Structure 1
Amino acid sequence: MNLLQNKFSIEDAMAKLWNKLDGWLDALILNLPNIVMAILIMTAFYFIARGLSRFFKNVLLKRISQVSIREIISKMIFIVVLLVGFFISTGVLGLDRLLTGVLAGAGVIGLAIGLALQGTLSDTFSGVVLSFLPHIRINDYIESDDIKGFVAEINLRNIMIHRTDGNYVIIPNSKFTEKPFLNYSLSSRSRISVGCGVGYESDLQQVEDLVTRVIAENFEQRTGEGIEFYFTEFGDSSINFVTRFWVDMTRTREEYGARHKAIKLIRQHFKENNINIPFPIRTLDFAKNDLRIDRDKNREGP
């Protein structure tokens, strides 16, 4: 009796399963045109999104000098157009109610994910802010936290800096925005300083006039700029001075080159005019002691 009951229960379950599958098959056949239409709509909107993204990036946004801004706007356009195609496709399939429930659940899930990914979201928001900042652009030469190099990329996660030694440094956006940075590329002119010292026997006015003239002849000073010269201290073996002047500079290599040139010129003209650049000299006075060593003192007898 139990075997017959089990047999009938299995047959009933199988019959219900086949009826369910048959119903799904009928629904699939009936909705097949809508499914095909939805697939075609999504495909069409995908290519439309790609085309509009490239069009905005290469044509309409070409006047924007910030490459990162063009990248972000083009990606946002791609996502928005793709979402429009998705909503239209779900409408064709008659999944409006299902979509409403999915969006409601996604809101709750999104809140939980947002709390769990605060650091990542902070980097994303900082990346958007950096992309729209006019004070930092791709290929700018910057210095941040003892890291110098060219801005190679700004994305929604981090900023990539290409150092002069060929290596890349990747800094999270949130960490980068928390610290001050120096952008050498914002101004084409910067003031540098060169220091030196002359002997105490030197004519100080002659030294000042000579250094000022040498710098003026070799480094152009524009309106509002000028050469500054100051004696700074009485050193141990020299009277020290510093001169400051303006040069074309958008990166540290140009600063090193200008300082290198100025030092060579000052040294050359000091030598031609017999101006001494002293260096510290230490004299060691060894007193002569009557030192005698009795070699036989510790020698044992026969």
Structure 2
Amino acid sequence: MKDLNETVALLWSKLEDWSDDIILMLPNLFVALVLLILTFYIAKVVRNTVDRVMGRFSHSAALNNLVTTLVYLGVLVLGFFFVLNVLNLDKVVISLLAGVGIIGLALGFAFQDIAANFISGVIIAMQKPFGVGDMIETNDYFGIIERITLRTVDIRKVTGELVKLPNKMVFENPLTNFSVHGVRRVDVEVGVSYAEDLEQVQQVVIEALQDVKNRVKTRDVEVMYDAFGDSSINFKARFWISYSRQVDYVGAKSDAIIRIKKAFDANDILIPFPIRTLDFGIKGGEKLSEELKTISASIKNGQGLSGNGQ
């Protein structure tokens, strides 16, 4: 019974000490409560202000939301530390800071790839090297950007597949943006016979491509010879088109090929087949078709004489 009385007395003494401490800390508790309420209010005001400011400088919703959230949490953490300081819990503050540092270091090692994609996404959102709807080629993928997040860039390939590329891969590797200037050059490779008048061919092609689909009229059509092929002299017809989708490019190139073929047919310009011929001294400047007619006529005359002799 004596031990029980001593235990109760000790417990009561502790409760009295705690009640005295609570009474002494009431002013601090009141100040801490007011400071905590002000912290939430100030954090909300700062978040709304930052959101309005970010909306003027950035059109990326993901980036704006990230910045405003980080600012909001930063104000809350700062106010929380002030509350703990008012309550004379300095040791708790130091312990929390140390714990946050250790946890942050551990998470950094564990999620370094995620962090790299996240940071790359932030940089991409700030630099804006491309936007939704642009036609790009990167990491051997070619297509239209459908969505940009802080983790991936979603590309719809021209064949329909959707590719989600991590931001780190897009940021660290070369990227070609075909839509950034709104124009693109089309190169059409063609070969003509060695017997053709090259200047005439050049003029025929230039005239044929004047009204090709989507052509930029302020830039001239160029026809440049670039190689002596096995059975033809090769050239490139180059012209510029207005470009927003891949169908603009392939459509213009197809139209150019059709126009060149029609122009060649109308002017009796020969596109030779890749065949191997034997040279028996035919002059390169003479028409190949005329030489073939001469040879054919000679063969017929020889057959006729042979028949008369019989």
Q: Same fold (TM over 0.5)?
A: yes
> Shift in Å at residue 194 of structure 1?
0.6
After superposition, residues 122-271 of structure 1 pair within 5 angstroms as: 122-218=116-212, 219-222=215-218, 225-271=219-265
> Shift in Å at residue 274 of structure 1?
2.7
Indicate conservation of the 8 Å contact 2:185/2:240, yes or no.
yes
Mean Cα displacement is larger for which, 263-272 or 69-78? 69-78
After superposition, residues 41-190 of structure 1 pair within 5 angstroms as: 41=36, 45=40, 53=47, 56-57=50-51, 59-64=52-57, 66-67=59-60, 68-87=62-81, 90=84, 95-190=89-184
Change (3 A) 1:201 1:133: same
Match of 2:273 in 1: 279
Change (3 A) 1:94 1:244: same
Change (3 A) 1:153 1:103: farther
Distance 2:73 2:234 in 1: 64
Q: Deviations over 1:225-253 (max 9, x none)?
A: 43221223333433322111111124433
Change (3 A) 1:16 1:108: farther
**Please, which runs of 5 or more residues in structure 1 have no aligned partner?**
1-6, 284-302
Change (3 A) 1:275 1:84: same
Match of 1:293 in 2: none
Q: Structure 1 counterpart of 2:226, which letter?
A: T
> Shift in Å at residue 107 of structure 1?
2.0
CA RMSD of aligned residues (A): 4.2
Number of residue-to-residue matches in the alignment: 272
Indicate conservation of the 8 Å contact 1:49/1:81, yes or no.
yes
> Shift in Å at residue 267 of structure 1?
1.8
Match of 1:290 in 2: none
Change (3 A) 1:167 1:262: same
**SS of the residue 1:255 aligns to:** helix
Identity %: 33
Indicate conservation of the 8 Å contact 1:227/1:244, yes or no.
yes
Distance 1:102 1:22 in 2: 28
**SS of the residue 2:168 aligns to:** helix
Change (3 A) 1:133 1:242: same
Q: Deviations over 1:164-207 (max 9, x none)?
A: 44443222333322211111222122222011122344332221
**SS of the residue 1:129 aligns to:** helix
Q: Deviations over 1:39-97 (max 9, x none)?
A: 9946982x87567646644x433333541543433333333343345345545665444
Indicate conservation of the 8 Å contact 2:63/2:125, yes or no.
yes
Change (3 A) 1:26 1:127: farther
Distance 1:148 1:20 in 2: 78
**SS of the residue 2:248 aligns to:** helix
Distance 1:41 1:213 in 2: 78
> Shift in Å at residue 142 of structure 1?
1.6
Distance 1:8 1:207 in 2: 122
Distance 1:263 1:122 in 2: 46
Q: Structure 1 counterpart of 2:100, which letter?
A: A
What's the TM-score once normalised by structure 1's chain length?
0.69
**SS of the residue 1:135 aligns to:** coil
